[in-house]
Structure 1
Amino acid sequence: MTFIAMDNLINYLLQFGQLNQQQIDLIKSKAKVLELKKDEYFSEAGKIPKRVAFIDTGILRVCYYNSKGEEITKYFIDKHNFAVDINSFNQKIPSSEYVQAITDCSLLILSTDALTELSLTIIGWDNIISQITSKALIEKVNKLSPMLSEDATTRYQEFLDKFPTLANRIPLSYLASYLGITQSSLSRIRKNIR
């Protein structure tokens, strides 16, 4: 598992820049495996994030509580992507979001110290991270912006189109929250689509 997970991480990084074998070995030596059970948190609101996760298997969700105390799902992160509250991580300020496993997950973790060492040691590392961050932000905007203007049925249809494997793997309550509708509305929409 670990060798395949490490290879998945390296292959992901190589999409954004060149790494020689020595650099690859250094990255592999810094990454630690973390198994998260369903419903466990990778990071919590109110705490400063001190690590970044690369999802090898499973699905994480990013959520927060609004002013009424309602839990709101912002988005989901599927395997072979990084997970971190990037603003809080970079600015070293407490996060306003929770990152929670909604299935059992296998993660590769890079700590702040490990990332600093990689930045100081690998020429081009900061550029790779910058490109990954840009890609993630663009994807986040693309996931959120079309959702805001569409009706609920269209939002659900678009979710199915973009994430065909997720709909049956995440709890209805999380999906309804993400789509900005009630669970009963989502159940009705799902019945009508079938």
Structure 2
Amino acid sequence: MKTLKTTIALVLLTFFAFSCSKDEDPVPAPVPPVVLAPLQDPLAGYLAASGFDQKLTNQVNLGDYEFGYSFIPLVNGKITAIVAKIPDVHAAMRVTIWNKATATVLRTETIDIVTAGVEVTKTITALDLVQGTEYFITFNSNDWYDHRKNDSSNVTYPFTVGDIRITSYSFASGTAQVLPSSPQLSYYAGDCSFKFQK
């Protein structure tokens, strides 16, 4: 009987010891969620800052051009998507991201514009951008939106939109994948842009 009482006492003591230690175990702190910086598309801000949002004309089937804008990121970041809208359909429209100083192609993508006048966003493998480096984003098409000020006057670059500084707009004639070399100050032909995340 004495052995049974001792055994029961030991079992109860062990049970209480484990119960107490379990209650005193620290509760792990919740893991904070990863907060990503918001995506930035500088095009609308550029059009507003330049006044090129005042007058819009559709241009359809008017010859092939490689055109776009150059820009400098003010912080390190990455392009995660390309965005395009034109006034006609265009399967596999070529979009190129360049290092402007070296005229080097960093990335070539195609984007399908299946409905005229509807913006399309294509997620891409992230492309790292270095703060202070000048880049160019261009597209090749025979359709575009002609953006101007009401008086068609020239603008003075650059324009800073969020973490992106727009430094110029330029074009080249033809279908060749060449860095545009004819800068224009009185209009922007588009629309092709990107999503940037710092």
- What TM-score bracket applies, with the shorter chain setting the length? under 0.3
Greater helix share, 1 or 2? Answer: 1
- The structure with higher relative contact order (CA 8 Å, sep 6+) is 2
Give the TM-score normalised by structure 1: 0.24
Higher Cα Rg, which structure: 2
Give the TM-score normalised by structure 2: 0.24
